[in-house]
Structure 1
């Protein structure tokens, strides 16, 4: 696990998983014709290379393996103050639109497999629903500021934690670190083989 000093430096400068609105890491330049997902990843996460699994995991805020309606709203920036004007009716409509696209088994949730199917197999992308770039809000950031010593002390182990919310938060950060490392590895590759349609790949 990374040391607490490294984590806190990243957090203070703007952690990858929550965006950087204060001038930390440089935001990638995206084409005006980029789709909403590309714009969101550049604006909120400062990443220009990602895959469907990484995108899903970064927005599975409770690490449940599914996107629930609240997570759909947060992904689209509807938990952020910039969208406080959006009516409850419009929020319900946005959730319904996304579930209509992604919820293949109609259980009211979006699973990782459903999301990968939509992005990779059907070659589609999340639509721009007019809510901006999708700022996730600052409540998670404030929680981390108060508890970073506990979760990221290099001597802290999962079994040392007793409160369910602490355990879940600890697990989430471990997952986020793994996804960040995967994205960093992807960004170092000129060509991401997994993104090339199978018929064009070399045997």
Structure 2
């Protein structure tokens, strides 16, 4: 699954003027705090060379030509379980920080044009302290952040004994059990637990 996503990402980044050269490259030598986008691309996508337009396109999830509040939250991974302990007010403040930098007209959206202008002026996405921006599904996050680092293509089932492996497959089992319960309920003509108590017969 991660392989397919990485191939897609590579294809997206090849659109237009090509990688890294159209608007200057983001050097991987920069500390993450200087340019969070570089950290995000390296850690979350395994991509070291990219340009501003490609980064914008990759994170314009609905292909609307602008980033909404929800898209910025997703890119920064603010709703990922790794940030469950962060208050909603802190998350909103983080989003405002990004919009203050890239939405100078206060439209409520970050357009591609506004993004490109700000980048050309030297503005960079800030490292807000909430990690590299996990925004993939469970399979992608597990594969890119754990399996690739500690296992590999030749790993056997008996090798998957790390706490992250155990938790990943526990969640798989939970999801499978939930799907089976749902399938069973869908085959029932009447689901008794859905009937309000006052309408149930007392035997």
- Shorter-chain TM range is 0.5 to 0.7
TM-score by length of 1: 0.54
Larger radius of gyration: 2
Distance 1:49-1:9 versus aligned 2 partners, 3 A rule: closer
Q: d(CA) in 1 for partners of 2:90 and 2:7?
A: 29
User: How many aligned residue pairs are there?
Assistant: 123
Residues in 2 aligned to 1:110 and 1:54: alpha-carbon distance in whole angstroms: 15
Higher relative contact order (CA 8 A, sep 6+): 1
Change (3 A) 1:30 1:70: same
Q: Tell me how far 1:30 sits from its aligned partner.
A: 4.1
Give structure 1 stretches of 5+ with no counterpart.
Answer: 1-7, 19-28, 142-203
> 1:132 maps to which residue?
131
**Structure 2: how far apart are the matches of 1:9 and 1:61?**
17
Change (3 A) 1:45 1:16: farther
Distance 1:125 1:78, change over 3 A: same
Match of 1:15 in 2: 6
Offset from partner CA, 1:156-181 (integer Å, 9 cap, x none): xxxxxxxxxxxxxxxxxxxxxxxxxx
Q: Report the aligned-residue RMSD.
A: 2.8
The Cα offsets for residues 33-86 of structure 1, whole Å up to 9 and x where unpaired, read as 242111111011111111111011111111111100011111111132111211
Structure 2: gaps of 5 or more residues: 10-26, 141-203
